[in-house]
Structure 1
């Protein structure tokens, strides 16, 4: 990584950093990687595999005369890797914690009713025509599934399994019949015993991405903006994404509508049919509801190419404030003090006028700021104790003290410390 470096040629210290896993890399590399560098990375990956180490982070500083200090940061159960960045990663301060959107429960919709197109009798006739001789589930088996899930299944879904159980309780069913049932319904159908609620926590992408997103449900939304719901009953898939019957629809939706939960997304779902009858008959909805939380006003970016003042970002619904690179006067956080829902602050090093203003944000659960800003908070005893996760944003400063700062932060929550190995040597002058 230092082969083409110009810093040492200009008598300046050269710094490099990154992380290497058995299957990939995240390197702060300038330009295309040379064959020599690629070979070195592959050698390290083979060494990690031999040693049973999933990933290692590193940073190094080389002086113009060649004196070098290399820091190796070993995997830790309290650090989530920040993929795509050479930073240390995310410090998980509250064990087993998740960003707020993944803990959100569905709002009750007392007036929700099935769509006018929901027609259990038509659905049953259609399925029996498509599946002559299929073996259906008993009422006792359907009641057992409801008891296991803790919900009352909609009549359309009961009709489906009265016609075909797909698999028996012992999973030794007829696979050919299962394939016919999937063709008849229009998706890879799960057996009655394998119906499941879409678990929001399973979809959590980790704090590095999760803390930066927000969701909301508008008054005209058919599907609630959630990561999951006890009322999203998964019954099939398209080979990757999950189809579910929605028992907790948005205000503009219908009880029992069919939604698609995209496996490449960690929040939200798309409406695909107003009813299971529509789904089986191929009467699908063409529109896809936008759901990306980072496009909503609840998540705002300030800095070059974005909003240029904190005042413009401040509003009562603000949840996520990200301060990007900025070459103007550093920002004061005063306009967002007291906002009731602000839970995430990320700020590039040098962009905060007074880091101590962070202590006035009383609802933060995630904070990412530079090492110097963290130093100010730590020295003043002003680190917000509401935090569930934190990160240290590295830019041009020496990476080596970052682990020491991280361990100070972890110590405030009595979390295990990160292990760091330092190696010193001499690479000689630049060639």
Structure 2
């Protein structure tokens, strides 16, 4: 039955509850160097020096917990299935975490005792992946420097050893990307669902930066607490760019490489993308019919198009394209998408489509967002791809922020005339 009432909400039908989005980190190669950059002896020396400097500044020395037992370290390694790097392991030979210190040792983040490693509550990640929050519109971005950390929100070989008590952690990465090193320190958690942040090549280097900051006097004292300015990142550095003006070569060149998300208006053509080789999330709006030819060679994974008319030929040649959302006034042809090898998510709910039967030929499609009328036409055709999630709007939606989805864990109903 076709639904016309504007009071009816859009519904997400989750057909396959076991389906999860692919993890781009799984597709990356391992590190060129499997040797950790840290030095356990140097880490121990820096640790003691750091503690002495803090005591000089505070006027007293805080007492550390007892060292961790070797058998406890071994037990943690067995539980995790991976060993921490030698420099972090050596520090646990000095103390089993921060204990009740007023000043946590790792840049105001509590150093966890062994008993708490591996026992974190990851509800934050489960929430971020809920379909009603539209994860198909998000991309996990690359850390900076590029290709050092795998593009994952969380991995089993990221050993979280310190936390900020707000859902974020420091972790040692024992499964880095090609340009990384085992044991590098990264930041992960609720503020890093769009990609982890690279912090340092090792715990040793992390400590060295804290020591150097204290020696420079780059700190401030708040009652009994020290706030150290060690120039460590606290967010992902993906360089988001927004522009309400038509983008130009000069604008793109000034922005330079490293920009990973772009949202621009007034687009006539996409030639500016030649100066932005790292863009993987792109939203373009135009009052006309922009030339999308450069999109064939860009690493864009999520593409949102809003134009008078759209030709999907060039975007469909892009092997990186995973998720596509199309809004247009004139009818759009989906046939080019047959050649899009990795497209798994498609939103055509705000586009009139000339050849909706093409959807039945997109074998890799797992998510589809359509209007009730579009779903009726597709249901009549049958032979749909193995869809895991289908979003159905009772009418053509207005794009004003997120969609107020209702979620149903069931097959979508087959409309009747």
Matched residues, number: 308
CA contact (8 A) 1:257 1:275 kept: yes
Q: CA deviation at 1:312?
A: 3.1
| Residues 36-65 of structure 1 deviation map (CA, whole Å, 9 limit, x = unaligned) | xxxxxxxxxxxxxxxxxxxxxxx3xxxxxx
Cα deviations by residue, 1:167-193 (Å, 9 ceiling, x for unpaired) = xxxxxxxxxx61328622321121112
Q: Does the 8 Å CA contact 2:63/2:101 hold for their aligned counterparts? A: no
Q: Report deviation, 1:253.
A: 1.7
Q: CA deviation at 1:162?
A: 1.2
| Shift in Å, 1:383 | 2.6
Partner of 2:194: 267
The aligned counterpart of 2:76 is 145
What is the alpha-carbon distance in structure 2 between the residues aligned to residue 104 and residue 207 of structure 1?
21
- 1:63-82 correspondence runs (5 A): none
Alignment-derived partner of residue 181 in structure 2: 254
Q: Which residue of 2 aligns with 1:391?
A: 391
The structure-2 alpha-carbon separation of the partners of 1:408 and 1:277, relative to structure 1 and needing over 3 Å to count, comes to closer
Q: Could you list the per-position Cα deviations for residues 360-412 of structure 1 after superposition, in whole angstroms to 9, with x for gaps in the alignment?
A: 1100111111111100111121332x211110034359xxxxx9xx8994469
8 Å Cα contact 1:112-1:251 kept in structure 2 = no
Distance 1:203 1:225 in 2: 19
Offset at 1:320?
0.6
Is 1:126 the counterpart of 2:113 in the alignment? no
Q: CA RMSD in A?
A: 3.3
**Is residue 16–residue 388 contact of structure 2 (8 Å, CA) maintained in 1?**
yes
Instruction: Supply the distance in 1 between the matched residues of 2:103 and 2:158 (Cα, whole angstroms).
Output: 20
User: Which of 74, 86, 90 is residue 159 of structure 1 equivalent to?
Assistant: 90
1:239 counterpart residue number: 165
Partner of 1:382: 383
Does residue 207 in structure 1 map to residue 105 in structure 2?
no
Give the corresponding residue for 2:19. Answer: 97
Q: What does residue 251 of structure 2 align with?
A: none
TM-score, with length taken from structure 2:
0.65
* Structure with bigger gyration radius: 1
Question: Deviation string for 1:274-308 (max 9, x for gaps)?
Answer: 21122233255559542666346011122328x93
Of 88, 104, 115, 1:183 maps to 104
Give distance in 1, aligned partners of 2:91 and 2:307: 55
Note if 1:297 corresponds to 2:294.
no
SS in 1 for 2:79: helix
Residues 84-136 of structure 1, C-alpha deviations (whole Å, 9 max, x = no match): xx423x21111233222389476433533323xx2311221333452666411
The Cα of 1:212 is off from its aligned counterpart by 2.4
SS of residue paired to 1:163: coil
- Unmatched runs of 5 consecutive residues or more in structure 2: 52-61, 211-229, 239-259, 262-279, 283-298, 398-404
How far residue 203 of structure 1 moved from its aligned partner, in angstroms, is 6.2
What SS does the corresponding residue of 1:346 show, helix, strand or coil? Answer: strand
For residue 392 of structure 2, give the secondary structure of its aligned residue in structure 1: strand
Structure-2 separation of matches of 1:394 and 1:410? 13
Does structure 2 retain, via aligned residues, the 8 Å contact 1:214–1:320?
no
Are 1:361 and 2:348 an aligned pair? Answer: no
- Name structure 1 gaps, 5 residues minimum: 1-13, 18-58, 60-85, 167-176, 398-402, 413-431
- TM-aligned CA distance change 1:196 to 1:202, over 3 Å: farther
